[in-house]
A and B are shown apart, each in its own frame.
Chain A
């Protein structure tokens, strides 16, 4: 069993961080993990992305051209990586900054207003946490509680920042779960 997630957005949107949180958390659950960033000039202002591979046996290629899951925080990332997602996969789109969607029926598309929710919570920077939460609500790649523990370690004594990050994760998680449940409901109706 292997899952691949690609996170993409502008540099500074917290892309690398949410990828590392996922990788760390999966490692704590005893899985094999590999986190591979884009590096070099792309780190400076352009599209930043990282891929996380989670597996139950030693990971072969760390280079993933067709991830199962994609989380995009800006429009260029959706346009660049959206077509690459595996059939039966899913994409989480930050609809606050991405007015368009993707013309694919073979994948699930979650439109989550990450920045709007972040602003509502009081800190624009937690938009990526909303996105990560939404992914985990949609598909339980790792336990949300494990991620929360890591966030607590990361932000430590900055209580206000920590709380906003935890709330962001939870808000995203609820939206992701609601999407999944509505999909399952829909499939059952169709069946």
Chain B
């Protein structure tokens, strides 16, 4: 456990990756997360690591693919349009079962959109992005400290599942400065990779990292294997936080990332006025915390559920899946880089009560 230092989210993410034993970073600059690249351009040489500015996100993600196939810890960071370009490689990396960590500091879309905070890549991160039957394990921090902790966890999970992991944060997570502590002991040792990594075939048969399965039976089996892996994630990796859920609250909010922090302030303000509102904050977006949210929504005093997002309504579909019609599910959100204030959220809540 180190001492507290004040760091910008992007720089803290870069440092966390190094502390997690990741010495290899390939990326292409894009606002609002270019500071990760700028930080690592300085830091990687200091720790004997590799920093390379690729010619595009397409190239960067395929450099990761090759390097991960050679058995080293790798990661990249980008923002929404860049992640779209990387989605091809993400599908392949999931198919090839390689551990890679992707950071998406989300800006508003679609298209070029804007550079201000948004959560409009929820579908892309949790439902696909790339082609084919694969799943990303998606983690969403709501503070710089949590971003640091989740980056370190992400490398452990990437190794455990041999699967790409995505950390998704809105622009504020990347841009704001908060005190952080680095818990070095969180980083696990990378597992033995000699069985599947392309490191030269001395003393064994050649290893092939591939995603082509021309035989439909073999391809089906491969898909079943990936599905079983996703099922293990669903069983073991649900993460979330309850806020003000102890008492007989009347409305359940579901919100993640920075938006959840705005909701907390709104909940505190309403509490002072005698109105009790609870919140469930998903930290893992995939696997989505279906059961905890269902459990909260079904408590007798809960009248309705409200999904609050920096989007036009994406996570709300998973909230509906969790609540299964037991309570009305409402949505409140803004897109384009606008961030609702606690007062905005309070008003949305009052309209429902």
Contacts and interface: CB of A to CB of B under 8 A. Distances in A.
Direct contact of A and B (CB under 8 A): yes
Nearest to B338: A63
Nearest to B344: A65
B345 to A, nearest CB: 9
B122 to A, nearest CB: 19
Interface stretch (A36-44, A74-82, A94-102, A107-115): A36-44
Contact of A61 (B177, B178, B262): B262
Contacts of A33: 6, 177-179
Interface string A130-163: 0000000000000000000000000000000000
Interface in B180-221: none
A34 B143 CA distance: 9
A77 B13 CA distance: 32
A28 to B, nearest CB: 9
Given A62-B261, A63-B341, A20 B171 contact: no
A65 B341 contact: yes
Interface of B (DSSP majority class): mixed
B264 A60 contact: yes
A27 interface: yes
A35 B176 CA distance: 5
Contacts of A168: none
Contacts of B67: none
Contact of A34 (B171, B176, B262, B264): B176
B61 to A, nearest CB: 24
Contacts of A34: 176-178
Contacts of A39: 31-32, 115, 171, 175
Interface residues of A, number: 20
Contacts of B264: 60-61
Interface in B295-353: 339, 341-343
A23 interface: yes
B148 interface: no
B343 to A, nearest CB: 8
Contacts of B176: 34-37, 62
A40 B32 contact: yes
Contacts, number: 63
B4 interface: yes
A60 B143 CA distance: 10
A177 interface: no
A36 B172 contact: yes
Interface string B30-56: 011000000000000000000000000
Contact of B261 (A24, A37, A61): A61
Interface string A27-66: 1000011111101110000000000000000111111010
Given A24-B6, A33-B6, A60 B31 contact: no
A27 B343 CA distance: 27
Nearest to B176: A36
Interface centre among A35, A59, A63, by most B CB within 10 Å?
Answer: A63
B116 interface: yes
A35 B177 CA distance: 5
Contacts of A65: 341, 343
Contacts of A36: 172, 175-177
28 contacts: A20-B177, A32-B179, A33-B6, A33-B177, A34-B177, A35-B177, A36-B172, A36-B176, A39-B32, A39-B115, A39-B171, A39-B175, A40-B32, A40-B116, A41-B115, A58-B143, A59-B261, A60-B264, A60-B265, A60-B268, A61-B265, A61-B341, A61-B342, A62-B172, A62-B258, A62-B261, A63-B339, A65-B343
Given A60-B265, A61-B342, A65-B343, 8 more contacts: A20-B6, A33-B178, A40-B32, A60-B342, A61-B341, A63-B172, A63-B341, A65-B341
